Structure 1
Amino acid sequence: MRRVPYGPVREGWQLTNFSLGLTYNDTELPDGTMISYWQEGPFYDFTAAEIEELETATTTLHAMCLEAGDWIVRQCPRHTVQGRKEGYFASVCNPETCFLAKIGVPEFAHEQIIRTWFDGDAETWTHYDKDPDMRLPMETPDYSPSIYGRFDLWYNGAGSTPKLLEFNAQTPTALVESAVIQWHWMDQTGVTQHEWRQWNSIHDRLVGWPASLDEPADPGAWRRNIDKLREARTWLPEKPKIFFAYETSETSGEDRMNVAYLMATAEEAGYPVELIAMSQIGWDVAGDRVVFVPSPGQEHKAEPIDIIFMLYPWEWFWTEEGGKAFFRNMADPTKHGTVWIEPPYTAALLGNKAILPVLWKLFGDDPERSKYLLPAYFADSSKAKTLTSYAKKPVWGREGGSVTLVRDGATISENPSEYGVDGRYVVQQLCELPSFESLEGTVHPVIGSWLIDGEPAGMGIREGLGDDGLVTKDRCYFVPHTIESSL
């Protein structure tokens, strides 16, 4: 792994990137300075062996996270028939015994988080475990598709081992630049002639590929998951319409373009699609359905939503007005409830920082798997106090908000924000991002390792500048990569 500071600069690259979807390239700093999010010229180069190491780490970490999700579910009383009976008219979850309650997930959401977690395996549709007490009273199979996710990894090349920093399991962005922009950059510059050229099969894994001499055909994540969904929900048409929702208050255009790109891949896979705003998701009281309302006052034109991809945090959604109704709508698949992509479990079980201490609890003593982890604990635990160098992170946080880095008892970086006001934090042993020299100074890269349908699919690299870049924030750069470039 090396940083090449003087790569080729394409003529008109800004317009090229804009035409491919990178409409949010220019970032304004607090002092009014404008910087380019995409870095044209520098790039990171990897050996094939390093890419294989990152792929292995990604596969192993994903399997570990699935085991951690199972562990979290078992801590909730509502995972058993008896627990659901006892909790029908009363609260049965509290922070002392229920992990979901401990991290602030409202109790009305627990049962559907658990149900969607177990959806998808034909053997677990009605028998979620060999233990009969885990059997849900539901004879109709269901399915809750998960399309994508991204691990943020520390890595410093050959001789080092990738370390998990966090798992963006529900709303990861940087998809356009990872899947499309850097691929075209690599293709147009010809900076490497290696057989692989770049670790990047994101687009193909979403839309699929035909059979070749080297490998069999693959239907892609969209077709594979929608086919499974149609097996469970037989009333759905062969090509059900998929809505794609984004939050319009995010004014840079990043959310809109990431959602638009995913929508384009679903359309390429053969499905009718529609891009909508979060504010256009409504509720039909009479029909007990989630609906698309084109604009205020046009409720008579509302269209039922069978399937929707939502780039909006579940931890916001379930605390807003109407949250209970949306979760109730998921409860019984025979009532044609809306299917949400990503499912609520991606936020509640995987995509928050509380999974870090769970992973360490489960695998900290396993040398083959703990090598990909950093010791992590809840900030209010006694073990947390044994760390003198650590990253303190809010359980629910994004873009480095409210993350504090402490080295030998002294704070070296902090990023105050609205995240963490609930007081829920974890601490993770400090592992400062690698340092590389650039024309502007020292930069610190973080590897974003993508999963498509649970399989490693490629990476994007973000880098921060100077001491402020030790925590990856929204204004950090995106830098492309190659495999074994000759430059």
Structure 2
Amino acid sequence: MKRIPYGPVRDGWRLTNFSLGLTYNDDVLPDGSMYSYWQEGPYYDFSAAEIEELETATATLYAMCLEAGDWMVEQCPRRTAEGRRRGFFDSVCPPDVCFLTRIGVPEYTHEQIIRTWFDGDADTWTHRDKDPDGRVPMQTPDFSPSVYGRFDFWYNGAGTTPKLLEFNAQTPTALVEAAVIQWHWMDQTGVSKHPWRQWNSIHDRLVGWEATPDGEPAELGAWRRNIAKLREARPWLPEKPKIFFAYETSDTSGEDRMNVAYLMSTAEEAGFPVELIAMSQIGWDVSDDRVVYVPGPGREHEAQPIDVIFMLYPWEWFWHEEGGKAFFRNMADPAKRGTVWIEPPYKAALLGHKALLPVLWKLFGDDPERGKYLLPAYFADSKGAKTLTSYAKKPVWGREGGSVTLVRDGVPITENPSEYGSDGLYVVQQLCELPSFEGLEGTVHPVIGAWLIDGEPAGMGIREDLGTAGLVTKNNCNFLPHAIETEY
């Protein structure tokens, strides 16, 4: 792993990147200076063996996360038929019993979180039509599609082991630049002659590919594969159901819109009708008890039912908002006419928070083969936390480095105050300072973003930040492309 400081600079690269979807490249920093998110010229160079190491770590950690999700579900009383029956009349998930309650997940969401986690598994509670006592209707197997996610790794090349920093399981961005922009950069610069050139099959794994003359078989891709499974569970859906894609318009940078628009374009390329909408256009039809798309105020008569929707919006916000209970109740429709959400709620409640880190350490910290990808992690108010003198303190429900504090030998070295963490829920993770490389403006610190598509390792994007403050990667970092075994 090397940082090449003086790589090729393409003529008109800003316009090229803009035309490919990177419309949110330029910004003005608080000090008035201009900032370019994409860095043209420098790039990171990896050996094939290093890429294989990162790919192995990604696959292994995802399997570990699935086991951690099972452990979290086991702590919830609503996982059992008796718990659901009792929970219909009373609370059964106090924080000293239920892990989900402990980390702030509202109890009314637990049943659907667990259901979507186990959808389609014949050995789970969704399999039977009724409870043994015959009183509580049960869901028959369904399917809740999951399309993508991103691990953030510490990694410093050959001789080191990737370490998990966090899992962006539900709403990761930086997809456009990882899947599209850096791939075109590779094509246009030709810096690598290695057969792999770049670890990047993100687009192909979303869309699929045809059989090749050299014998590589055709691949359906994540969208076709997931929708096919969904139609097996819900045969009334058309062969190609319309997929809505929703984003939050309060993000004025355009980043959310373009990440969602890119995912939408891959679903369209895979053969599905699509529509891009704002989160504010998701409504509720009281008469039909349905989630609907409402084009605008006064146009309720034009509302369309939503069968399948991808939303780039945190579930941990959604379930605290007015109307959240209705949306979760809709998921429970025994006739399977409820809206299918991508990503499903379990991606936030079981995997997409920092509390995953102490659970992984509890389950795998002593495993020499799998635990090597982890850093010791504990809830901040636990006994284990007191064993760490150098650590990163992270809010359970944090984003973009907000409210993360790094402590070295008991002394804070960087802080990033934000609105996150106001609930007092924090974890601590053993400090593992990001690697240092020399850039034109000083020392930079890269973090590896390893992408999963439909649960499979699919590629990498690299963000880096500057100086001591750059040890926490924030939303004003830089994105750099990568290549494999270049000779530049």
TM-score normalized by the length of structure 1: 0.98
The code of the aligned residue for 2:449 comes to: G
1:188 maps to 188
Show the counterpart of 2:141: 141
Question: Amino acid of the residue matched to residue 349 of structure 2?
Answer: A
Q: Could you say which residue in structure 2 is the equivalent of 1:270?
A: 271
Q: Report the secondary structure of 1:276's partner residue.
A: strand
Residue 257 of structure 2: aligned partner: 256
**1:223 aligns to what?**
224
Structure 1 range deviating more: 26-35 or 285-294: 26-35
**CA shift for structure 1 position 113:** 0.2
Q: Distance in 1 between matches of 2:373 and 2:268?
A: 36
Distance 1:173 1:7, change over 3 A: same
Task: Tell whether 2:411 aligns with 1:384.
Answer: no
Counterparts of 1:104 and 1:8 in 2: how far apart (Å)? 48
How far apart, in 2, do the equivalents of 1:453 and 1:142 lie? 17
TM-superposed deviation, 1:138: 2.8
Q: Is the 8 A contact 2:81 2:125 kept in 1?
A: no
- 2:30 aligned counterpart, secondary structure: coil
- Separation of aligned partners in 2, 1:459 and 1:239: 30
Cα distance, 1:148 vs structure 2? 0.2
Do the aligned partners of 1:233 and 1:333 also contact (CA within 8 Å) in 2?
no
Residue 355 of structure 1 corresponds to 356
Structure 2 residue aligned with 1:210: 210
For residue 153 of structure 2, what is the aligned residue in structure 1? Answer: 153
Q: Which residue number corresponds to residue 450 of structure 1?
A: 451
Structure 2 residue matching 1:399: 3-state secondary structure: coil
Cα contact 2:120–2:142 (8 A) shared by 1:
yes
Superposed displacement of residue 481, structure 1: 0.1
Contact 1:125 1:141 in 2 (8 A): no
Q: Calculate the TM-score normalised by the size of structure 2.
A: 0.97
Deviation at 1:246, TM superposition (A): 0.1
- Amino acid in the other structure paired with 1:364: G
Structure 1 residue 121 displacement after superposition: 3.4
Match of 1:411 in 2: 412
Q: Secondary structure at the match of 1:165?
A: strand
> In structure 1, what is the Cα distance between the partners aligned to 2:124 and 2:228?
18
- In 1, Cα distance between equivalents of 2:82 and 2:122: 23
**3-state DSSP class of the match of 1:59?**
helix
In 2, the alpha carbon distance for the partners of 1:127 and 1:336 equals 17
User: What does 1:321-336 correspond to in 2, within 5 Å?
Assistant: 321-336=322-337
Contact 1:140 1:334 in 2 (8 A): no
Cα separation, 1, equivalents of 2:412 and 2:215: 52
What is the SS of the residue equivalent to 2:7?
coil
Alpha-carbon deviations, 1:59-91, whole Å to 9, x = none? 000000000000000000000001001110100
- Structure 1 residue aligned with 2:374: 373
Kept after mapping to 2: 8 A contact 1:81/1:137? no
CA distance in 2, matches of 1:270, 1:100: 38
* SS of the residue 1:334 aligns to: coil
Change (3 A) 1:111 1:236: same
SS at match of 1:44: strand
Residue 152 of structure 1 aligns to a residue in which SS? Answer: strand
Tell whether 2:93 aligns with 1:93: yes
What residue number does 2:440 align with? 439
Distance in structure 1 (CA, Å) of the matches to 2:7 and 2:283: 49
Q: Aligned residue for 1:178?
A: 178
Shift in Å at residue 34 of structure 1?
A: 1.2
Q: CA shift at 1:122, angstroms?
A: 4.8
**Deviation digits for residues 405-444 of structure 1 (CA, Å, limit 9, x no counterpart):** 0000000000000000000000000000000001111000
Q: Kindly state the Cα deviation for residue 386 of structure 1 after the two structures are TM-superposed.
A: 1.1
Q: Determine the C-alpha separation between the residues in 2 that align with 1:363 and 1:190.
A: 41
1:104 partner letter: G
Answer whether contact 2:95 2:102 (CA < 8 A) is retained.
Answer: yes
Kept in 2, the 8 Å contact 1:244–1:273? The answer is yes
Deviation track 1:126-145 (CA, whole Å, cap 9, x = no partner) reads: 449xxx99xx9535321000
C-alpha distance in 2, partners of 1:411/1:29? 25
How large is the Cα RMSD of the aligned pairs?
Answer: 1.4
Counterpart residue number, 1:469: 470
SS in 2 for 1:54: helix
Q: Which amino acid aligns with 1:403?
A: V
How far is 1:33 from its partner?
1.2
Give the aligned partner of residue 54 of structure 2: 54
- Contact persistence 1:125–1:142 (CA under 8 A): no
Cα distance in 2 for partners of 1:203, 1:262 equals 9
Spell out the pairing of 1:16-31 with structure 2 (5 A cutoff): 16-31=16-31
Deviation, 1:123, is 5.0
Structure 2 vs 1, CA of residues 125 and 263 (structure 1 numbering), >3 Å: closer, same or farther? Answer: farther
User: More deviation in 334-343 or 14-23?
Assistant: 334-343
1:482 maps to what in 2?
483
- Equivalents in 1 of 2:440, 2:417: separation in Å? 29
CA deviation after TM superposition for structure 1 residue 332, in Å: 2.1
C-alpha distance in 2 between matches for 1:296 and 1:244: 19
Q: CA deviation at 1:28?
A: 1.9
Distance 2:290 2:73 in 1: 27
SS, match of residue 61 in structure 2: helix
Rounded Cα–Cα distance in structure 2 between residues aligned with 1:249 and 1:459:
28
CA distance in 2, matches of 1:478, 1:303: 39
Residue aligned with 1:295, SS: coil
Match of 1:239?
A: 240
How far the C-alpha of 1:159 sits from its partner, in A, is 0.2
Counterpart of 2:191 in 1: which secondary structure?
coil
Tell me which amino acid in the other structure corresponds to 2:338: G
SS of corresponding position for 1:185: helix
Tell me which amino acid in the other structure corresponds to 2:68: A
**Alpha carbons of structure 1 residues 381 and 75: separation in structure 2 relative to 1, 3 Å:** same
Alignment deviations for residues 362-417 of structure 1 (CA, whole Å, 9 cap, x no partner) = 00111111100000000000110110000000000100000000000000000000
Partner of 2:114: 114
2:19 and 2:52 map into 1 onto residues whose CA distance is 32
| Number of the residue aligned with 1:43 | 43
How far, CA to CA, are the matches of 2:331 and 2:311 in structure 1? 15
Contact preservation (8 Å) 2:139, 2:334: no
**Equivalent pair of 1:119/1:125 in contact (CA under 8 Å):** no
CA distance in 1 between counterparts of 2:162 and 2:265 reads 32
CA contact (8 A) 1:148 1:450 kept: yes
1:298 aligns with 2:305: no
CA distance in 1, matches of 2:378, 2:463: 26
CA distance in structure 2 between the aligned counterparts of 1:214 and 1:455, rounded to whole angstroms: 21
SS state of the match for residue 370, structure 2? helix
Q: Counterpart of 1:183 in 2: which secondary structure? A: helix
Offset from partner CA, 1:314-340 (integer Å, 9 cap, x none): 000000000000000001241500000
Distance (Å, rounded) in 2 between the aligned partners of 1:5 and 1:139: 56
AA matched with 1:36: S
